[in-house]
Amino acid sequence: MDVHGRDLRYFTSVAEELSFTRAAERLFVSQPALSKQIRMLEKQLGVVLFERDRRTVRLSAAGEALLPHARAVLAAWQAAEAAVEEAKTAERCTLVIGMSTSPGRGLLPALRTRLVSRHPDARPVLCQVNWADPTAGLADGSSDVAFVWLPLPDEDRYQYAVVAREPRLVALPDGHPLAARAASDPEGKVDFTDLLDEPFLALPTEAGPLRDYWLALDARDGRQPRIGGVVASAEETHEAVAGGQGVVLLATGNAPLIVRDEVIAVPVRGISPSQLAVAACQNDKRTLVLAYLAAAREVGATIC
C-alpha cells in the first residue's frame, strides 16, 4: 500500500496535539481538510487510528502502534531531504578544473584566490586529463573549466581567456649539434628551418589541430614532419628526447617539466608564440564557470 508522507505528518500532528483544531493550526490546513485526510488514511489502513468524541481525541491501539513508526519514517525522510540538499549544494559549489599538465606559472593559486574571494563556498577540484584530449575534459563533460593550449578543435564550441603567451622552445638531447649552433647565435636561438629534417615527437592523433600546432605545420611550407614518436605525458616526452627519438617544441613555461637529466631547451626563431587559455563550453552560463573565466581574464591581463 502507498501511504504519502503528508498523511503520516498529519497523523503524527494530531497524535501529538490530541486535537484536530490545534493540529490543523500547526499544519496550516483547515480542520475539515485534516479530518478528511485522517479518515482516508484510516480507510486505507483498515483501522481506526483515533477514538474521538465531542470533547476528546485519543489514540486507538492501532494509532499507538503506528505512531513510533510514523515518526521514524518522517525522521528518515527529513534526513534524506537534508542529504539531498547537501549533495545539491556540494555539486553547485564544486568546480572541476581539467588540465593535461599542471599549468604552473602561479596560475592556480591566483585564480583560486579570485574565485573564492567572490564565492567563498566554491570548491575547486583538479582533474588530470590525458594529452590525447586537447580540451582537457570539456568535450566529454568531465571538466567544467580547463587549462588548454590553443588552437582548440571546434573552437566555436568554447569560450576562453588567454592566461599566458610564451615563445616556443625546442627540447633537444644534451650534445645535439643544434645546441652548439644556438650557443653561437647572438640571440641564443636556432631557426626553425634548421629543425625541418629533425624527427619530431608528436601528440596523439586525437589531439587534432593541437598536434599540428606543436609540430609547427604552419611554418613548414608544406613539408611533412618526420615523426620520431608519439608522447602523451611530460615524463614520456623527457624520456623520448633523452633517448634520441626526436626533438619537441614546448612552451617556455613548460620547460621545467622536460628539461633535466640530459635534456636541454633553446629558443626557436620563426614560429609563433604559444597560448595557454582557461576555457569552458560556449553555452555554459553557470555562476562558478563564469566567475573562473572572469578571474582568468583578470590574471591574463596582468601576465600577457
pLDDT number for residue 89: 63
What angle is formed at CA 191 by the lines to CA 189 and CA 194, rounded to 5 degrees? Answer: 125
State which fold the 5-91 domain adopts.
Arc Repressor Mutant, subunit A (1.10.10)
Q: Which residues contact 157 (CB under 8 A, 6 or more apart)?
A: 281, 282
Determine the average pLDDT of the residues in 226-247: 92
Do the Cβ atoms of 108 and 95 come closer than 8 Å? Answer: no
Strands 94-99 and 145-149: parallel
- Once rounded to an integer, what is the mean pLDDT over residues 122-143? 90
Q: How far is CA 299 from CA 97, 103, 231, 303, in A?
A: 16, 13, 30, 6
Check whether 90 has a pLDDT greater than 90: no
pLDDT band (50, 70, 90) for residue 132: confident
Closest residue by Cα to residue 299 from 273, 274, 278, 275:
278
10 Å CB burial of residue 18 (0-12, 13-18, 19+) is middle
Task: Enter the DSSP assignment of 197.
Answer: T
pLDDT value for 15: 93
**Assigned CATH class of 168-272:** alpha beta
Residue 122's pLDDT is what? 87
pLDDT confidence tier of residue 1, bands split at 50, 70 and 90: low
How would residue 211 be classed by pLDDT, with cut points 50, 70 and 90?
A: very high
* pLDDT of 39: 92
Q: Does the pLDDT at position 2 exceed 80?
A: no
3-state helix, strand, coil in the chain (%, to 5): 45, 25, 30
Mean pLDDT within 54-74:
92
Closest CA to 100 of 193, 204, 244, 178: 204
Return the pLDDT at 175.
84
**Residue matched to cell numbers 605525458:** 233
What is the grid cell recorded at 24?
490543523
The answer, as to whether pTM is greater than 0.85, is no
Q: Within the chain, which residue ranges are assigned CATH 1.10.10.10?
A: 5-91
Fold of 92-164+275-303: D-Maltodextrin-Binding Protein; domain 2 (3.40.190)
Residue among 130, 135, 271, 274 at smallest CA distance from 208 = 135
- Whether the ω angle into residue 167 lies within 30 degrees of 0, i.e. cis, is no
- The rounded distance, in Å, linking the Cα atoms of 247 and 190 is 13
Residues in the chain: 304
Burial class (CB in 10 A: 0-12, 13-18, 19+), 35: middle
Question: Stretch 63-81: mean pLDDT, rounded?
Answer: 91
Cell numbers for 253, please give them: 613555461
**What's the alpha-carbon Rg for the chain, to the nearest Å?**
33
Average pLDDT on 210-239 reads 92
Between 46 and 83, name the one with better pLDDT.
Answer: 46
- Mean pLDDT over residues 141-167, rounded? 92
Provide the pLDDT for residue 91.
Answer: 63
* Neighbour count for residue 213 (Cβ, 10 Å): 22
Domain with CATH 3.40.190.10 in the chain: 92-164+275-303, 168-272
pLDDT in tens, 9-18: 999 999 999 9
- Reply yes or no on whether the pLDDT at 100 is more than 90: no
**CB count in 10 Å sphere of residue 140:** 10
The set of cell numbers assigned to 190 is 636556432
Q: Is the pLDDT at 304 greater than 60, yes or no?
A: no
Name every residue whose Cβ is closer than 8 Å to that of residue 34 and which is 6 or more positions away in sequence: 10, 14, 20, 23, 24, 27
More confident residue, 188 or 32: 32
